[in-house]
């Protein structure tokens, strides 16, 4: 009877050892998978860190380009404003010349009218 009682215990023990071996294998595979995931994440982080400086370089480059565009826009506004001012001065000068010319014409017309009036009066006096 001892053999019969020993056999079931030995079978249970063998079964437990087999289950333990299976669990150990699963743990090893799980651990290996975790290590692979860890290395993959480290690689991704490394790439991210490497891309970080290039992104900041791109950011700096974009900022420089934006500053250049801002300077060009300010320059164009200043030039446009200066051109507009120059045109206004030119128009004002031309208006001044036209006003002066009109005054000369009016003065000459007034002189001519005064001369005609004087001639008419003189002729009228002579006729009387």
- What whole-number distance in Å separates Cα of residue 40 and Cα of residue 52? 18
Taking the whole predicted model, whether its pTM rises above 0.85 is answered as no
The two tokens of residue 44 are: 């991704």
- What whole-number distance in Å separates Cα of residue 80 and Cα of residue 78? 5
| pLDDT surpassing 70 at residue 50 | no
SS3 of 74, please? helix
CA distances from 36 to 15, 30, 33 (A): 31, 10, 5
Using one digit for the tens of pLDDT, what is the confidence trace for 89-110? 888 888 888 889 989 999 998 8
Using one digit for the tens of pLDDT, what is the confidence trace for 68-84? 888 888 888 888 777 87
- What whole-number distance in Å separates Cα of residue 2 and Cα of residue 103? 145
């Amino acid at each position: 009877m001892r053999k019969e009682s020993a056999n079931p215990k030995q079978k249970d023990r063998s079964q437990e050892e087999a289950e333990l071996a299976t669990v150990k294998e699963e743990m090893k595979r799980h651990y290996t998978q975790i290590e692979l995931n860890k290395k993959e994440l480290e690689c991704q982080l490394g790439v991210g860190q490497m891309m970080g400086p290039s992104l900041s370089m791109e950011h700096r480059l974009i900022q420089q380009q934006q500053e250049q565009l801002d300077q060009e826009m300010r320059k164009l506004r200043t030039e446009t404003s200066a051109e507009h001012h120059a045109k206004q001065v030119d128009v004002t000068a031309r208006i001044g010349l036209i006003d002066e010319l009109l005054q000369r014409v009016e003065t000459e017309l007034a002189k001519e009218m005064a001369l005609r009036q004087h001639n008419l009066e003189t002729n009228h006096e002579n006729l009387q």
